[in-house]
Structure 1
Amino acid sequence: MPTHEPSPPADRDLSHSLNFRVDDLDADDQISAAFFRLVSVHEDMLVSLAEHHSADGARSFYVLYDGSATWDHPGVPQYVALHLQRDLERSTFSFERATLPLPSMAQSWLIRRGCPPEFLTLDAERGTAPADEATRALEQRLMRDGDHYALGWSHTQDDPDDWVTLAVLRALDERARSPFRVVVEEVDIEAGTHTLREGGFDSVEEALQWCDDRLGGLSKALPLVRPVPSLSRPAPAPKTASSRPSGRSR
């Protein structure tokens, strides 16, 4: 059990006021109980990293950091993607929720449910900042192409001396030469930054073994992701002078 106070991996002002806009709406007993158990009971520990509300107020999308996750079972994801749907004429609501290991995966989950990507930018004043361009590029790709992968396993270790998140993904493209991916986020608490890297594996066993080694303190390079082979036909070789038919003089 960690001994530090639960907080996002950055020492920043996280004062916030969440408003899910459902207090005046009704729902059936099952939905109301689920929303209380999965969302409302943790509300004082939730920090909004990004949110978007449709112009008509019928839909809301949230990327949330859940500070209570640090007290849960070791390794559980600490980010919540929440999609609220309100029927304002009937004064009812419904919701979808997913816990995910990385904010970019939460963004991807919400984008697939109709949130415009340009309105789901993470708040730069909350959480940590990308340490380099490689991190930014991979985060954008995970956010944009997250539906190309299935999340199989993840582990978040929020030890201030080694804050790391590991996620094992399976490529849904049957042509993928690296069908299993390991995504590694490492946080530098003092600098307030994080790096994100990706490695490719041929089997889930190899991917999980790499993760076990990393959590065990072994530092091993991530294998490169092999690119998807091109299905385009090679261009025909240009004809040379020797390949031309010879002419005869009469």
Structure 2
Amino acid sequence: MNDRFDFAFDFNLDELAPADAASEEAVERFWSGDLTALPQHHTTPNGSHSFVVAHDQSATWGIPGAPQVMAIAAARDLNRFTYTLETSHHATVSFAQNWLVERGCPPEKIAKTHGGYLKPADDLTVWVERQIRESGARYEVLDNHTSDSDPCETWTLTRDASAAQAPVRLFHEEWDHAAGTYTMREGAFADVGAARAWLDDRSGPLPEPPEYSDHDGAVVRARIALIALARSAGAPATPKASLDATRTRLAGPVQRPVKGRLL
């Protein structure tokens, strides 16, 4: 097999030709030597699609703040003996997963990260990540930044098409390598300037989205509670339909998510 694809997964492109100029350019630029596969899904048997999230170590030596997570989507047309290949860089795994879901990957197939990657520190992190992963085109990414030295964090600045209030949303991820965990929090701002001001001074907690405390707050609390139950039992995350069906039962006594200041 072409050594450009010689890593923890196999795209099976040996006998195929690129279907378009973009795919030909993508394969020429593709270098697997710096990539570590994280979640991935390949359709079987003899499937036509591969979806992979990978950590791109080469980004650490490039432009400061550049995203280090790569999403890769390969589609093979076995009748025409061609393939398409797309890649996209993201600050966090959850936004890379969202990009793959938008290209046809079932969200539950790309949700679990294997290997030595850091684990979510709490149930709110799991909930925020799932919200991103399954959000479709809801979040328009405006900017992002990755820091793998002090502070070890990423942030992704977005515009939320579904937000009635404070439509600029900041997703802030912080890593604790000593504990082997990370946290993800969502902050809400009236405009981009306010979000950038918070990033510059960090003088207060990350502003909590209004829906965490309004009439939708019960839904948020119910979903986080069900995630906690699933994680404690070692079971898969509860599907969205089940979450919606049980939100009323769980909404009352469950504690609100904490404010977003990262620890």
> Who is 2:28 aligned against?
36
How far off is 1:219 after superposition? 4.8
Q: 2:106 aligns with which of 116, 125, 132?
A: 116
Counterpart residue type for residue 123 of structure 1: T
Aligned partner of residue 166 in structure 1, secondary structure: strand
1:50 has 2:39 as partner:
yes
1:26 has 2:40 as partner:
no
How far off is 1:111 after superposition? 1.0
1:85-234 matches, cutoff 5 A? 85-159=75-149, 161-173=150-162, 176-213=164-201, 218-227=202-211
Decide whether aligned partners of structure 1 residues 35 and 23 sit closer, same or farther in structure 2, where only a CA change above 3 A counts.
Answer: same
Aligned partner of residue 147 in structure 1, secondary structure: coil
Number of residue pairs matched? 206
Write the distance in 2 (CA, Å) between the matches of 1:85 and 1:140.
Answer: 25
Report runs of 4+ in structure 1 exceeding 4 Å deviation. Answer: none
Could you give the per-residue CA deviations for residues 42-78 of structure 1, whole angstroms, max 9, x where no partner exists? x011111111112242111111111111011011111
How far off is 1:28 after superposition? 5.9
Write the distance in 2 (CA, Å) between the matches of 1:95 and 1:131.
Answer: 34
| CA contact 1:200–1:225 (8 Å) conserved in 2 | yes
| CA contact 2:98–2:134 (8 Å) conserved in 1 | yes
RMSD of Structure 2 on Structure 1 (CA):
1.9
| CA contact 1:198–1:225 (8 Å) conserved in 2 | yes
State the identity as a percent.
Answer: 37
Larger fraction in helix: 2
Structure 2 spans left out of the alignment, 5+ residues: 1-6, 216-263
1:52-91 matches, cutoff 5 A? 52-55=41-44, 56-91=46-81
Higher RCO structure (Cα 8 Å, ≥6 apart): 1
Write the distance in 1 (CA, Å) between the matches of 2:211 and 2:73.
Answer: 34
Write the distance in 1 (CA, Å) between the matches of 2:116 and 2:135.
Answer: 24
TM-score w.r.t. length of structure 2: 0.73
Write the distance in 1 (CA, Å) between the matches of 2:19 and 2:54.
Answer: 25
Structure 1 spans left out of the alignment, 5+ residues: 1-15, 231-250
Quick check: 28-37 or 119-128, which moved more?
28-37
Decide whether aligned partners of structure 1 residues 158 and 68 sit closer, same or farther in structure 2, where only a CA change above 3 A counts.
Answer: same
Instruction: Choose 1 or 2 for highest CA Rg.
Output: 1
TM-score w.r.t. length of structure 1: 0.76
